[in-house]
């Protein structure tokens, strides 16, 4: 039984028009990915596809339109984990790569599977991946005015018809961070999967790393706990520690969850019962 869940970040509640825009874009991407899953696309390829679509949408803080660091440059990070193979790959603070998840995907088959900075950029050029400026007029204007973006980190977790799980996460970072700061997205704290479960996190990277959120949740499921029960316990721990983060996850049975300690997290899920989305505070 296939299941798909994607997110477009967590944080404060945006105006209604922005929330509707986010919801519609997430739903479109989820529907397109769902069609591919039912056509036989693997969990890994479906997670990559969904994340590329999220990166290509300048509404989200990943790929095109990412937030800028303190020096005004966009440095992107992404990670991909094949749960069936238990193989992680990622890129950290890479410049000039519009779709960092595609570089992470290429690294899945290589010996050096996590690359950073210029090394990641050089490998992207060697592979012939599309290069370009991830900044947009909107992101540059937000940087100049020191304004937060509308959404955050993006991610996708997929269970395919062969019961394989994959997780992908991509981000432009926190925004205005010190050059060299590493986010959670390209670590196993923010993106993790096994044959039993997969997780993608969003929120304050340092909090996600402190809590080892993705790996902690998967470990609980592997120990025999129900996904929802384990997630609820983790959320309680996060609130006690005042960690500001959200996560999406699913298990090998097709159960899924979306939990956050922030005011809102933007997500859409599709399973055998239909389409689901984040609760709107005005509804």
What pLDDT is recorded for position 151?
Answer: 54
What is the per-residue pLDDT for 1?
85
117-125 mean pLDDT: 97
Query: Residue 161: is its pLDDT beyond 60?
Result: yes
Of 49 and 143, the structure prediction assigns the larger pLDDT to 49
pLDDT of the residue at 136: 85
Alpha carbons within 13 angstroms on the beta-carbon side of residue 187 total 18
Please state the rounded mean pLDDT for residues 193-213. Answer: 97
Q: Is the pLDDT of residue 150 over 50?
A: no
No. of helices (H) and no. of strands (E), the chain: 8, 12
Please report the pLDDT score of residue 282 as a whole number: 83
216 pLDDT above the threshold of 50: yes
| Mean pLDDT, range 71-75, rounded to an integer | 93
Mean of the pLDDT values across residues 233-238? 98
- Report helix, strand and coil shares of the chain as percent, to nearest 5: 35, 25, 40
Cβ–Cβ under 8 Å, residues 158 and 43: yes
Catalytic annotation, residues:
153
Distance of CA 7 to the CA centre of its chain: 7
Q: What is the pLDDT of residue 141?
A: 85
Residue 149 has pLDDT above 70, yes or no: no
Question: In this structure, what are the phi and psi dihedrals at residue 66, rounded to the nearest 5 degrees?
Answer: -65, 155
Mean pLDDT of the chain: 95
Distance between CA 107 and CA 86 in Å, rounded?
Answer: 14
pLDDT of the residue at 40:
97
Percent with pLDDT over 90 in the chain? 88
pLDDT for res 147: 61
3-277 has which fold? 3.60.20
Q: Give the start-to-end residue ranges of the domains of the chain.
A: 3-277
Sign of CA dihedral 177, 69, 18, 48: negative
Report the predicted TM-score, pTM, of the whole model to 2 decimal places. 0.96
- Does position 159 have pLDDT exceeding 80, yes or no? yes
């Amino acid at each position: 039984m296939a299941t798909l869940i994607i997110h477009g970040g967590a944080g404060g509640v945006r105006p209604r028009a922005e929330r509707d825009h986010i919801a519609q874009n997430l739903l479109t991407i989820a529907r397109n990915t769902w069609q591919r899953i039912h056509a036989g696309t693997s969990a890994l390829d479906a997670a990559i596809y969904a994340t590329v679509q999220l990166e290509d949408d300048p509404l989200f803080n990943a790929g095109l339109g990412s937030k800028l660091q303190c020096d005004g440059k966009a440095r992107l990070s992404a990670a991909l984990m094949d749960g069936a193979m238990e193989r992680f790959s990622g890129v950290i603070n890479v410049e000039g790569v519009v779709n960092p998840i595609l570089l992470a995907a290429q690294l899945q088959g290589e010996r050096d599977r996590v690359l950073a900075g210029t090394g990641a950029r050089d490998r992207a050029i060697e592979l012939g991946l599309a290069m370009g400026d991830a900044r947009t007029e909107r992101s540059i204007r937000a940087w100049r005015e020191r304004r937060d973006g509308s959404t955050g980190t993006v991610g996708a977790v997929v269970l395919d018809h062969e019961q394989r799980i994959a997780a992908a996460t991509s981000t432009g970072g926190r925004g205005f961070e010190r050059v060299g700061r590493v986010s959670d997205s390209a670590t196993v704290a923010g993106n993790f999967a096994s044959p039993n479960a997969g997780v993608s996190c969003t929120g304050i990277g340092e909090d996600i790393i402190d809590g080892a959120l993705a790996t902690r949740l998967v470990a609980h499921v592997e120990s025999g706990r129900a996904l929802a029960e384990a997630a609820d316990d983790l959320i309680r721990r996060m609130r006690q520690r005042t960690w500001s983060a959200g996560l999406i996850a699913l298990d090998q049975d097709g159960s899924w969850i979306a939990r956050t300690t922030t005011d809102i997290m933007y997500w859409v899920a599709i399973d055998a019962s239909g389409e689901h989305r984040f609760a709107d505070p005005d509804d």
